[in-house]
Structure 1
Amino acid sequence: MTSAATRPGVRRGTIPVFATATAVTVSNIYFTQPLLDAIARSFHTSPSTAGLVATTGQIGYALGIVAIVPLADGARLRRLSTVLLAVTTVGLAAGAFAPSVALLSLAALVRSASTVLPQVIMPTVVSMASTGNAGRVLGAVGTGLTMGALLSRTAAGLIAEATGTWRAGFVAAALATGSLLLVLPRYMPADPPAPAVRRESYPRMLASLPLLILQHPSLRLSAALGGTAFAAFSAFWSSLAFHLTQAPIGLGPAVIGLFGLFSVPGALAARYSGRLTDRWGSRKVNALSLAAALLAFALFGLAGQSLIALAIGCNLLGYGTTSGQIANQARVFAAQPAIRARLNTVYIFAVFAGGAVGSAVAGVFFSAFGWTGVVGSGMGFLLIAVLVLALDTSRARHSARPASAPADSCVDQDAPGRESAAARR
C-alpha cells in the first residue's frame, strides 16, 4: 500500500505491519479447533469436555470485546498493545504446558480476552488514513483478519501432524505473537487517535455502550447487516464438516481441515472492496456483498454434493462476508472519531452474537432437515439482511438531504443530519 493511503507523518510500512499483526493475533482464536480431538485423547477425556477449550476461548473473546476494546478511545495505544500482546503470549505459553483440560481452558479464557488487538487496530488504522482512504486501509487490514482466521486451522493441523503433539501449535502461536512485541508497538501511536476534551471514566465508557445504538443510525444499520450476514457465514462453516463426512462425499478429517484453503482467493479479492467503499459508498458495497453470499448459498443448495461447487461457493461467501465487514466498519467509523473504539465494540458484539445464533440455528436445522436445512437457514438470514438494506435505502432516498451531500457516501450516508446531531451529543 502506498503512502498516499495514510496521513503525512504516519510511519512507512504501518499498514502491512497492522495487517500482519491482525492475522497473527486473530489466529489465536481459531487455531485450537482442529486440535480438540488430539487434546481429548491426550487427557483421556471426552470430545465434549475438550470442547470446553474452544468454548471458553469464545467466551473470553466476547469479554475482551466488551471490557477491553472501549479502552482504545482513551488509553495510550502503544502501551495498550504491548500489554495485550504480552498477556496473550503468556496465555499461549501456559496452554502449551497445561497439565489438564481445566487449566488449558482457563489459559484459553485469558489469552482470548487479550487477543482482541485486531479490534483495537481497526479504529486506529482509520484514524491514520488520509481523506477518502478509510475503506482502502480497512480493506488491507481486514484481509489480514480474514486470512488469519482461515489459515490458522490449517496451519495448526499441519504443525500438530508434523510434530505429533497438539502442544506444538500453542508453542508456535506463542512465538509468533511474542515476536510482535518487537515490532507492533513501535508503529502504534503513543496517544489516543482522537483524545477527548474530557476524559471519561472506565465505568462511564461501559455504561455508554448500549446508548450508542440509539444515538447512531449508521451503527444500527451496520450491526443489523453484520449480524445477519455473519449468522449465515457461521451456519455454513459450523455445519460443513458434518456435510462433508456424510455419504456420498465421505471425506476424512484431514481433507476437511484443508477445505478452508479454498476460501483464500475470495478473501484476497475482498481487499479491493475497501477501495470500492471509498468510491461507491458503503451501501452499494453491502448490496454487492449480499449478492455474492446469496449466490454462494444458491450453489450450496443446487449442487451441494459437488466439491467444485462448494469450493466456488466458499470463495463467494468469503468475499461477500469480508466485503460486507469492510463496508460496515467504514460506515461505523465515519461517526464520531473520539468514540470509534466503542462504536466498534458494539458492532463486533452484534456480529459475534449473530454468528452464535447462526451456528445454533444451523445445528437444529441440520439435525431436522440435513444439508437442505442449513442452506435454508443461511438464505433466511441473508434475506433478512437484504430487507434491512432495502428499507434503509428507501428511507435514505425519501429523506431530505443537504445539496452538498452525495446520496451514498462512505463518510455520511445514513441520515447525515441526524447522525451529526447524535455525534455531537
Structure 2
Amino acid sequence: MTVTALDTPPRPGLSRGTAVALATAGALTVANIYFPQPLLDAIATGLGVSGSAAGLVATAAQIGYALGIGLVVPLADGARLRRLTTALLLLTTAGLLAAALAPGLATLTAATVALSTTTVLPQVIMPTAASMAGPGHSGRALGVIGIGLTLGSTLSRTLSGAVVGLSGDWRTAYLAAAALTGSLVFFLPRLLPERAAGGAVPYRRLIASLPRLVTAHPELRLSAFLGATVFAAFSAFWATLAFHLAGPPFDKGVAWTGLFGLFSLPAALLSYSAGRLSDRRGPRSVNLSAYACVCAAFLVLGLFGDRSTAALVVGSNLLVYGGSCWQIANQVRIFRLDEGIRARLNTLFMLASFAGGAAGSFTGTALYAAHGWGGMVLGCAGFLALAGAGLAAGRRLG
C-alpha cells in the first residue's frame, strides 16, 4: 500500500486503513470512560441510591483510568503488544459485563474501577502509531488517532443517552459497550507489531525507570508542564459550564452542556492539521499558534461569555481547537525521543496532564462558586500565564 492516514504513507507499517482502524479502536475504548456520565441519574433511580452516591461511578472511572495510565501503559515498552492488547480488551469487556449485571452500587463502582484501569488502549495506541509511522511522520499519525479519541469521548455521552432513552434501562448501554469493545479483539491485535522497539523489559524495570526519564529528558519536562497548565484551564471551563448554563441569563437544562460537546466537533476535526504542521515546522510553532487560540478563547469567554450563548459556542470551539493542537504538539515533541521508551514517556505526559486537569476542575469550580464566571476566567488566565512562561523558558527545546 502507498497511502496513509490522509495522504501518503509514512512507511508501509501505517497505511490509511490501519490508521483509521487504530483511530476507531481508540474511539471505542476511550468511550468507556465517558459514556456513563449522562446515565448517573438513571443509575441512581435503578439502584435506589441518591444522585451524589451514583456520582461515585464517574469518580471511579477517573481513578481507574489514572491507575491504568500509571501501571499498565508502561507495559507497552516491554510486553508483547498483541498479547497485551488482547488481554486488555478481554478484561475491559468482562468489566463492562460485570457492571451491566451489578446488583448494587458497590459492585458497579468496583467494576468501573477495574474496566477503567484496563481501557487504557488509547494511550498504548498513540506511541505505537507514532513508531509505526516512522521518523518525521509521527505528527500525522497522532493527528488521526487524536480525532478518534475526541469523537469517542464526545459522541459517547450522546449515544449512551440515546441508547438508554430507547431501551429504558441504563444496563443496555453497558451491554452495548461490552459488545463493541469485545469486537475489537478480532482485528486490533493483528494491526499492531508483535513487540515494541525496545524489546523485552521486565515490568519492575519499566516502572523503576519512570523517575529517571523525568530527570533525563528536558523535552519531557517541558511537554508535561505545558500539557498540565493548558489542560487545567480547559478542564476548569468544562467543569463549570453546566452550572453557568443552568443559571441566569441562560436557564438551560443539563442537555445543553452535552450539546456544547457537539457544537465543538468541527474544531476538534480541524485539529488534525496540528500533527502535519508539527512534522513540518516543529512542535514549538504549533504550540505558539495553539496558545494564541486558547488565549483568544478565554478573551471571548471573559468579555461576553456571561451573557451570550454565541460567545460560549465560539469560545468553546477556539478552546477545543487550541487545546487539541496543543496536546498533539506536546506529544510529538516527546515521541521524537528514544523510540524504545515512548509508552513510558506517554505515561508521564498523561499523568501530568491528568493532574493538571484535576487541579483545574477543582480550582475552576471553587472560583466559580466564590466569584462567578469572571473569577473562573481569571483563574484560567493564571494557568495560561504559567503555560506562557513555560513556553518562553523552553524555546530552545523545539
TM-score range, shorter chain: over 0.9
Structure 1 window deviating more from structure 2 (6-15 vs 316-325): it is: 6-15
Distance in 1, Cα, partners of 2:314 & 2:124: 32
- The alignment status of 1:203 with 2:235, answered yes or no, reads no
Aligned to 1:152: 156
Q: Is 1:79 paired with 2:83?
A: yes
Amino acid in structure 2 at the alignment position of 1:62: A
Partners of 1:10 and 1:27 in 2: CA distance: 24
Which whole-Å CA distance do the structure 2 matches of 1:263 and 1:315 have between them?
5
1:258, distance to aligned residue in structure 2 (A): 2.2
**1:241-285: CA deviations, max 9, x gaps?**
000000110111223322210110000000111001111110110
Which residue in the other structure is 1:288 paired with? 289
2:195 aligns to what SS in structure 1? coil
1:356 and 2:352 aligned: no
Give me the identity figure in percent. 53
Q: CA deviation at 1:117?
A: 0.2
Is 2:252 the counterpart of 1:251?
yes
Structure 1 residues 190 and 12, CA, compared in 2 at 3 Å: closer, same or farther? farther
Match of 1:367 in 2: 369
Amino acid in structure 2 at the alignment position of 1:306:
S
Which one of the candidate residues 175, 178, 186 is aligned to 1:174? 178
Please report how far the alpha carbon of residue 26 of structure 1 lies from its aligned counterpart in structure 2 after TM superposition.
0.6
Q: What residue number does 2:118 align with?
A: 114
Please list, as runs of the form range in 1=range in 2, the aligned pairs for 1:230-309 lying within 5 A after superposition.
230-304=231-305, 305-309=307-311
| Native 8 Å contact 1:289 1:323 kept in 2 | yes
| Matching of residue 163 in structure 1 with residue 164 in structure 2 | no
Say which of 27, 36, 39 aligns to 2:40: 36
Name the residue aligned to 2:191: 187
Alignment-derived partner of residue 65 in structure 1? 69
1:159-203 C-alpha deviation (Å, 9 max, x unpaired): 2222222112111211111111112111111122x134xx43211
Kindly provide the amino acid, as one letter, of the partner of residue 4 in structure 1.
Answer: T
Q: Distance in 2 between matches of 1:310 and 1:175?
A: 36
Provide the secondary structure at the position in 1 that maps to 2:186. coil
Does structure 2 conserve the Cα–Cα contact (< 8 Å) formed by 1:5 and 1:136?
A: no
TM-score by length of 1: 0.90
SS at match of 1:5: coil
Distance of 2:205 and 2:189 partners within structure 1? 27
Secondary structure of 2:288 counterpart: helix
TM-fit CA distance, 1:48: 1.6
Give the Cα separation in 1 of the matches to 2:360 and 2:149: 20
Asked if structure 1 preserves the Cα contact closer than 8 Å seen for 2:78 and 2:203, the reply is no
Cα pair 2:245 2:256 within 8 Å, conserved:
no
Cα contact 2:13–2:133 (8 A) shared by 1: no
Q: Paired residue for 1:214? A: 215
1:331 aligns with 2:333: yes
| Paired residues of 2:198 and 2:341 also in contact (CA < 8 A) | no
Secondary structure in structure 2 of the residue aligned to 1:4: coil
2:136 aligned partner: 132
CA RMSD of aligned residues (A): 1.3
d(CA) in 2 for partners of 1:87, 1:38 = 25
Do 1:92 and 1:174's aligned partners in 2 also have CA atoms closer than 8 Å?
Answer: yes
Which amino acid letter does the alignment assign opposite residue 215 of structure 1?
Answer: A
Q: Which whole-Å CA distance do the structure 1 matches of 2:260 and 2:321 have between them? A: 16
1:317 maps to what in 2?
A: 319
Deviates more, 1:278-287 or 1:182-191: 182-191
Quote the Cα distance in structure 2 between the aligned partners of 1:132 and 1:195: 19
Change (3 A) 1:97 1:392: same
Distance 1:5 1:322 in 2: 23
Q: Which residue does 2:226 correspond to in 1?
A: 225
How far has the Cα of 1:2 moved from its partner? 5.1
Query: Could you tell me how far apart the structure 2 residues matched to 1:9 and 1:111 are?
Result: 30
Shift of 1:298: 1.1
Q: Structure 1's 99 and 273: CA in aligned 2 closer, same or farther, altered over 3 A?
A: same
- Alpha-carbon distance between aligned partners in 1 of 2:146 and 2:13, rounded to the nearest angstrom: 23
Matched-pair contact (CA < 8 Å) for 1:263–1:314: yes
Q: How many residues align?
A: 393
Of 87, 96, 99 in structure 2, the residue corresponding to residue 95 of structure 1 is 99
Contact 1:4 1:130 in 2 (8 A): no
Q: Give 1:4 deviation, angstroms.
A: 3.0
**1:13 counterpart SS class:** helix
Q: Secondary structure at the match of 1:78?
A: helix
1:346 maps to what in 2? 348
- 1:10: how far off? 4.5
* Contact in 2 for aligned 1:157/1:257 (Cα 8 Å): no
**1:155 positional shift:** 1.4
